[in-house]
Amino acid sequence: MRRLLLTLFATISCFGLWASEPAKWVDPFIGTADYSVTHPGAVVPHGMMAVVPFNVTGSELNRYDKDNRWWSAPYDIRNKYSVGFAHGALSGVGCPELGAIITMATVGDVMPDRYDHGSTYVDEVAVPGYYATMYDKYGVRAEATATQRASIERYTFTDGGKANILINLGTSLSNETGAMLRRVSDTEVEGMRLLGTFCYTNQAVFPVYFVARLSRKAESTGYWKLQPEMTGVEAQWSGDSGEYKLYRSYAREMMGNDIGFYFALGDVEPGTVVELQVGISYTSIENARKNLEAEVARRSFDEVRTTAYNTWNEALGKIRIEGGSDDDRTIFYTGLYHALLHPNILSDVNGEYPAMESGATGLAKGYNRYTVFSLWDTYRNVHQLLTLAYPDVQTDMIRSMVAMSQEWGWLPRWELYGRETFTMEGDPAIPVIVDSYLKGLRDFDVEAAYAAMKRSATTPGKSNTMRPDIDPYIERGYIPVGLFAQDMSGDNSVSHALEYYVADNALASFAREMGDTKFAQEMERRASGWRHYYSKADGAMRPIGEDGKYVGEFDPTAGANFSNTIGFHEGSSWNYTFFVPHDVEGLIKYMGGSKVFTKKLWSVFENGYYDPTNEPDIAYPYLFSRVRGEEWRTQQLVKQLLDENYSTTPDGLPGNDDTGTMSAWAVFSMMGLYPDCPGEPYYTLTTPRFSKVEIDTDHGTLTITTEGEGDYISGIELGGKPINKYRISHEELIKNKEIKLILKSNL
């Protein structure tokens, strides 16, 4: 049915319809295979709530299934056995987390075990804000839609029968267990599920609270639990179901690691429709109920679905395109859709949220508090996209990050629901904030932000939560091997330092804006330290030992394909050697000049060393445009990489989407400009996929147009005047509002 709908959509030739409804070009099934780990669930932009089909049911759910696939999302399109809808799941992250509070409609006896009550399914449909399928085991049509903090599910029992609604708190993607359920009435249940330890790190767990409300009274309700004992509750009756026990009881509460609740509806007529509303909160059950009341209450399923769809149209409509193929438009708007899923709103409708690392309840006054800051990924392009087209959202995200630093002392690196996961490298919040500030977003506590940046850049390592290996970095300009191993990947000293150089370059710019000239000069000196790692003899970055010498025999390909190697995290030396975005001119000179630089960089692509599935080398194609006369290579490569790595199929993303980062690369590249250095307000131009792009900004509409046909740029006009450069500032872009790219077919 999904393919039928997409084919039907594609036959409509009136572009004006599509321009007014960009959501029609979104295919949420793109990225749901080949480890891209996006999901097709019902969600609105940056929603706390996401209602996601849960079809990952391997024997070791949180690790690998029988086919040795690592599950870090609740859904994979290759699977065909669902256990219901998960609530609040993440999209495009590399480690298993959340995917909890699973609801399922069944017919027959109540069966707690997911292998018993799950079902194969057919006729999936997914559009922005809506998902539906048919559980063919039960003849139940299951639909879901969402608001920011709540959802409605609609179940149609097409064949009738003995109907049930199950709420399973034992199954999830989280590495944690532990839950609580409390029966409120014949139509309502509330509870809590523990989550946490993202990527198996050691951060504290956090709870998600919920209220679930049924549209009709149940004939009976009850609990189940994996363990046969039930402390503190006198069960009226119990019956074995595999390893589980059912407890039909009016007892108020149950706690445990593998528990659930059921509404038994009795025999229902064919065609009976039952709705289930769910509100969530990361603060309290009371707030989950407030969220539900404020956003759903007595609204119908169709009303909420329409609102969700219109919300997506409004958000996606901030960028309008003309020209290109149908596939181009689908890839573009699906990429923009993915880029707007995270970060997520964390504050409840009353402004309350879980404060960073304390467990206390904070209050966001006059802004939305956000979470899921996968900054090592998103600091490269997602936040630049938000700054350009969604400045109000980006400003609230900066306010959120600054508030985190005030609550626990540090800006985030990879924050998750008020907990720092310490995943990946560097100090990426600094370039994000500086980048936005330099582009004019300044409605946040600038002094508090600057204080937090200086704290992480100057605090000695033994007291530095964000940069524990900072001491030799300050003293020597580099980090030696063996000083610090962050996680299972071992020593990543080169990767750590290269990320710090980028952050400190941004901090130098911010210090100058603050009038702190001496500190700015110190940060500039530090940012030049990448030269320590570059071996002229090897023509690549190499790890350095305590003795100041390069370590061991060197293989620049070691570490590729996410294998471990000394010095580098999730990449080889080739994936990091050109990662000096703040000093490309210096790198060119250090390598021996433009010709040597170009030849060496081109060899990365010719030899297959470039990795389009991960972040360190994500901007490599744009580096050629920093060498006069070599800009054509950027234009050729970007087209080639888009063609090879992005498509309209379920495996149409080049790998883990990293909360929208891979998608944002495609969005920028297809528009014809890319933010080439985090923390610097510049873009590199390339050939767009469309004849016209309109971007709504704080300063009016920015228009990018093309003249002529072809893959290569022969001329550029900015604000109607010819320019002879391929890198332009954000200020130039916003001030002139118009870019025309004159194209040609041949070099």
Compute the distance between CA of residue 80 and CA of residue 88 in angstroms, rounded to an integer: 21
pLDDT value at residue 728 = 97
3-class secondary structure, 579: coil
**What are 503's two structure tokens?**
């952050």
**For the domain that residue 296 is a member of, what is the CATH number?**
2.70.98.10
Chain segment 96-115, per-residue pLDDT in tens: 888 899 999 999 999 998 88
**Residues of the chain where predicted confidence (pLDDT) is lower than 70:** 1-19, 57-71, 200-203, 227-243, 248-251, 484-490
Contact 181, 253 (CB under 8 A): yes
Q: Please tell me the total count of domains within the chain.
A: 2
Same domain, 143 and 184: yes
Backbone angles phi, psi at 438, to 5 degrees: -70, -20
pLDDT value at residue 250 = 58
Contact 158, 271 (CB under 8 A): yes
- Please identify, among 284, 314, 344, the residue that sits at the C-terminal boundary of a domain: 314
Compute the distance between CA of residue 707 and CA of residue 739 in angstroms, rounded to an integer: 11
**What are 542's two structure tokens?**
């190499």
pLDDT value at residue 472 = 94
pLDDT value at residue 563 = 80
pLDDT value at residue 1 = 41
Element of type H or E holding 363:
strand 361-363
Same domain, 368 and 395: yes
DSSP letter string, 169-199: SS--S-S---EEEEE-SSSEEEEEEEE--GG
pLDDT value at residue 242 = 46
Compute the distance between CA of residue 186 and CA of residue 130 in angstroms, rounded to an integer: 27
Chain segment 492-539, per-residue pLDDT in tens: 899 999 999 999 999 999 999 999 999 999 999 999 999 999 999 999
Same domain, 72 and 147: yes
Using only the alpha carbons of the chain, give its radius of gyration.
26
Same domain, 286 and 342: no
Same domain, 240 and 375: no
Same domain, 349 and 217: no
Who contacts 260 (Cβ-Cβ below 8 Å, separation ≥6)? 112, 166, 167, 168, 169, 170, 181, 223, 224, 225
Compute the distance between CA of residue 296 and CA of residue 44 in angstroms, rounded to an integer: 14
Instruction: Residue 463: count other Cβ atoms within 10 Å of its Cβ.
Output: 10
Backbone angles phi, psi at 652, to 5 degrees: -85, 15
Instruction: Residue 220: count other Cβ atoms within 10 Å of its Cβ.
Output: 15
Closest CA to 529 of 598, 465, 452, 587: 587
Same domain, 66 and 101: yes
Give 78's DSSP letter. Answer: T
- Please identify, among 314, 343, 368, the residue that sits at the C-terminal boundary of a domain: 314
pLDDT value at residue 251 = 65
Contact 486, 497 (CB under 8 A): no
- 678 backbone φψ class: left, alpha, beta (φ>0; ψ -120 to 50): beta
- 730 backbone φψ class: left, alpha, beta (φ>0; ψ -120 to 50): alpha
Helices marked H in 181-249 — which ranges?
Answer: none
Beta strands in 115-250 (DSSP E): 119-127, 130-135, 140-146, 150-157, 161-168, 179-183, 188-195, 206-214, 220-225, 237-241, 244-248
Compute the distance between CA of residue 250 and CA of residue 301 in angstroms, rounded to an integer: 30
Same domain, 251 and 341: no
- 20 backbone φψ class: left, alpha, beta (φ>0; ψ -120 to 50): alpha
pTM over 0.85, yes/no? yes
Same domain, 219 and 145: yes
- Please identify, among 283, 314, 345, the residue that sits at the C-terminal boundary of a domain: 314
Domain that holds residue 248: 2-314
Same domain, 6 and 125: yes
The vertex-684 CA angle with 595 and 506, nearest 5°, equals 95
Angle between helices 301-316 and 326-339 (to 10 degrees): 100
Same domain, 302 and 329: no
**For the domain that residue 515 is a member of, what is the CATH number?**
3.30.2080.10
Chain segment 184-212, per-residue pLDDT in tens: 999 999 999 999 878 766 667 899 999 99
Same domain, 306 and 424: no
